[in-house]
Structure 1
Amino acid sequence: MARFRLLVCDLDNTLYDWVSYFVPSFYSMIEAARPILSVDLETLLDEMREVHRFHHDSEHPFALLETESVRRSFPDKTYDETAKLLDPAFHQFNRSRLDTLRLYDGVLDGLKLLNASGVTLVAHTESKLYGALGRLDQLGIRNLFSSVYCRERPRYRPGHSDLSDMRFRRYSTDNVVELSHHQRKPSKEVLIEICERQAVPVSDAAYVGDSIPRDIMMAQQAGVFAIWAKYGASVSKADYEKLVRISHWSAADVEREQALRSLAESVNPDYIANSFKDVVERVLSGHISASRSSAVGT
């Protein structure tokens, strides 16, 4: 059969290693902020976790500005004045990100080949607007996607101006669809909507992602060919523990994740990719069989 006409791509840990970029960048920022605020590491990490939980987002933009230590250190400063005082910390995050955020091998050439072959590419991520667009822009691949589906931009507390919005005003959001919290993965309805908007039957679409419960189960429930990015599923234990330390996950989030994992225990991907090259080859080869083969990439 002919190639798939549509490939919907998860982003984090499917096109690049999100954990290996975010964790060192975040902790570099924290270390740079501590002497400015005269606060110990564990206290600041506790405060950052509380901000993340308030916004249900572990990469809430400029979360540092909403911590108790910042309010205590600069009680008479405006939000913008405080941001300038903490600029060395934000600079350290950006510097680390430039050093650590990299596409997996074969992703750039693979996306270009799929585009040249007439395959429509759509990005679908649980990251919020600023994080998703920022990474796609830094990696130079946003123009390869016809649409970007991401979680809606963050809501700020009273008195906290949206510094990120100022940064992204120069970017067009014409091809961006912001999803609400209840539309998070594994919402098959979102995936079906993507296919409908692209005028592609679900039978001609493929989805690639690193999570069995969120990506693969969602794709199969929607009737979309499910490619598991096995290469992105392994995470450094040390980095993961550091991420959990400041995560926005609540007890309810943990319970939901456990429930999803239980539901996905019997889920087998239609194809297992050991590299993004495997993904490209499978998309271009199209359906080999109408049955779910769980074929492994070579």
Structure 2
Amino acid sequence: MTRKTVDTLILDLDNTIFDWFAVWYASFEPIYKEIIRVTGLPPQEIEKNVRAVHQARRTSEYTFLLEELEALKHLRDGEDIRARFHDALEESRHGRDKNLKLYPSVFRCLWDLKKRGTKIIAYTESMGFYSAHRLKRFGLDGVIDVLFSPEDHDLPAGVSLDKLRRLPDEYYELQVTQVRHKPNPRVLLDIIQAVGATIDRCAYVGDSLFKDVAMARDIGVFDIHAKYGTSQQKPEYALLQKVSHWTEADVQREREITAKGHSFEPSAVLKETFAEIFIYCDFQPFAPEKKKNPDADEIKNSIEVWKKTVDVQQHFNDLEMRIRNFAITIIGVLIAAVGFTYQQGLQTSVFGYRFAAGLGLIVAAAVVWLGFFLMDRFWYHILLKGAVAHARKIEEQLKDKVAGISLGKTITEVSGSVKIFGVTMNSDKRLTNFYLLGFAMLAVVFVSLVFASPSGPNLGGGSALSAPLQSVPLEKAAEKE
């Protein structure tokens, strides 16, 4: 027999590496019997109540069953329900711990695979918290590379984990094994793609023919039936079917396969122990799947870079708009100050010459306006143009591969064809003209102050000076007086 070359082993944890059913039954049965005894209701009604909770919470091993079971509502209203079921809970915990152990040879075999470099993936329908806790107990944290499980259910209102847990959080959480949550517990292909494995070098081991083996066969993965973990023939299994979170269709299908057999044969069958897997598989170090289409990844990465470049464009464009708004605000304040000095008739003397005080403010405004122009035109505008140019380079590389990726080119073309009073102006010219208009405005105000004749408190009741704003020496003014 030719053995299958495998570098990725995917395990269904439950009833494959440990007896999940034995753990479940030992944990559930004491509480189930106590509920029937306390309520006095027939088993069929209790089972219906339990299944409703399990289906709502998407799990058949729900820690807070007592807090949500409808049949116990009248008891919860009057007392501490966990105190009432204390003995049953202790028996449940003891039974769970007693049965929570790996099948023979599992630990040794998994460590052997780990040393060979084979990637080991765990797959389960149990919630993440329960599964992680079990792997910790089994000593498999770090032996199993990735654990895929459904997301944990929410806690009932008023329930605190701190009060229920007896040990620190680190005791329950995995430290090395990576935990991921799968959106659909039936999609084995998603798991294979997520870990970068190849279908033809994977093997999947599970105890259920209608779930595990059938799922693997559907996508062409080498399927291995862990027959030693089959629990469907046990008489106690009927209770699980009655209270399970599974749909009625799943339960019925499983019953039919168990009763009539199946129409297919597994590729490999482990009859007695997990160690029999070496009969069928030649385990090799994990080799990540080679990219089938490297161009696709390159295009994807280029698009991400292009998006970031567009973000940078928007950032610098926003900074330029802020700079201009800020410049206009400051110049407006300075011109308002000029108006105040003019109204008050304030003047200043420099080297024996009198000037309107507002002229100094106009000069200061011109210097500030020039500073904003230099920062805008030769700093942020240059960076904006660089970002646009870089985006165009990326677009040029992707133009034949990605339809419609031409934003930078379009912006450049549209911006360069803008006409103002019939004159075509690109972004550089528009920016320069914007600031030239500001300088022109300041020049007009400057000239107006030079030839204006202010009046105010300092000029004696509003009388004008013969040349208040002209460059007249103080000595000559004194002689005239």
* Cα distance in 2 for residues equivalent to 1:150 and 1:227: 20
* Cα distance in 1 for residues equivalent to 2:188 and 2:145: 20
Alignment partner for residue 277 of structure 1, among 265, 275, 278? 275
Q: Deviations over 1:199-243 (max 9, x none)?
A: 332222111111222212222333322111121124443211222
* Structure 2 residue matching 1:127: 3-state secondary structure: coil
* Cα distance in 2 for residues equivalent to 1:258 and 1:244: 9
Q: Which has the larger helix fraction? A: 2
* Cα distance in 1 for residues equivalent to 2:215 and 2:197: 17
Call closer, same or farther: CA 1:2–1:20 in 2, change over 3 Å.
closer
Partner in structure 1 of residue 75 of structure 2: 73
- TM-score w.r.t. the length of structure 1 is 0.77
* Cα distance in 1 for residues equivalent to 2:97 and 2:25: 13
* Structure 2 residue matching 1:206: 3-state secondary structure: strand
Call closer, same or farther: CA 1:24–1:259 in 2, change over 3 Å.
closer
- On the 8 A contact 1:20/1:100 being kept in 2, the answer is yes
Partner in structure 2 of residue 144 of structure 1: 143
* Cα distance in 1 for residues equivalent to 2:163 and 2:199: 35
User: Structure 1 residue 118: deviation in Å?
Assistant: 1.6
Q: Deviations over 1:50-83 (max 9, x none)?
A: 2113223211222122112432112156xxx544
Q: Size of the alignment, in residue pairs?
A: 273
Percent identity, aligned pairs only, is: 26
Partner in structure 1 of residue 322 of structure 2: none
Give yes or no for the alignment of 1:211 onto 2:208. yes
**Runs (5+) with no aligned partner, structure 1:** 287-298
Alignment partner for residue 50 of structure 1, among 49, 52, 60? 52
Partner in structure 2 of residue 175 of structure 1: 178
**Runs (5+) with no aligned partner, structure 2:** 285-481
Q: Deviations over 1:168-224 (max 9, x none)?
A: 8431487111123xx122x24324324xx2x33222211111122221222233332
- On the 8 A contact 2:67/2:76 being kept in 1, the answer is no
User: Structure 1 residue 91: deviation in Å?
Assistant: 2.3
- TM-score w.r.t. the length of structure 2 is 0.50
Q: Deviations over 1:237-269 (max 9, x none)?
A: 3211222232233434446768999xx944332
Alignment partner for residue 228 of structure 1, among 225, 243, 247? 225
Partner in structure 2 of residue 30 of structure 1: 32
Give yes or no for the alignment of 1:251 onto 2:253. no
User: Structure 1 residue 149: deviation in Å?
Assistant: 0.5
Call closer, same or farther: CA 1:193–1:87 in 2, change over 3 Å.
farther
Larger relative contact order (Cα-Cα within 8 Å, sequence gap ≥ 6):
1
* Cα distance in 2 for residues equivalent to 1:213 and 1:281: 24
Which structure: larger Rg? 2
Partner in structure 1 of residue 305 of structure 2: none
Q: Which moved more, 1:113-122 or 1:275-284?
A: 275-284
User: Structure 1 residue 138: deviation in Å?
Assistant: 2.5
- On the 8 A contact 1:33/1:88 being kept in 2, the answer is no
The amino acid of 2:123's aligned partner reads: H
Give yes or no for the alignment of 1:184 onto 2:181. no
Supply the RMSD in Å over aligned alpha carbons: 3.2
Partner in structure 2 of residue 267 of structure 1: 264
* Cα distance in 2 for residues equivalent to 1:97 and 1:141: 18
Q: What does 1:126-165 correspond to in 2, within 5 Å?
A: 126-156=125-155, 159=157, 161=159, 163=161
- On the 8 A contact 1:188/1:221 being kept in 2, the answer is no
Call closer, same or farther: CA 1:166–1:29 in 2, change over 3 Å.
closer
The amino acid of 1:184's aligned partner reads: P
Alignment partner for residue 238 of structure 1, among 214, 235, 239? 235
- On the 8 A contact 1:123/1:149 being kept in 2, the answer is yes
User: Structure 1 residue 27: deviation in Å?
Assistant: 0.8
User: Structure 1 residue 104: deviation in Å?
Assistant: 1.4
Call closer, same or farther: CA 1:216–1:44 in 2, change over 3 Å.
closer
Give yes or no for the alignment of 1:97 onto 2:88. no
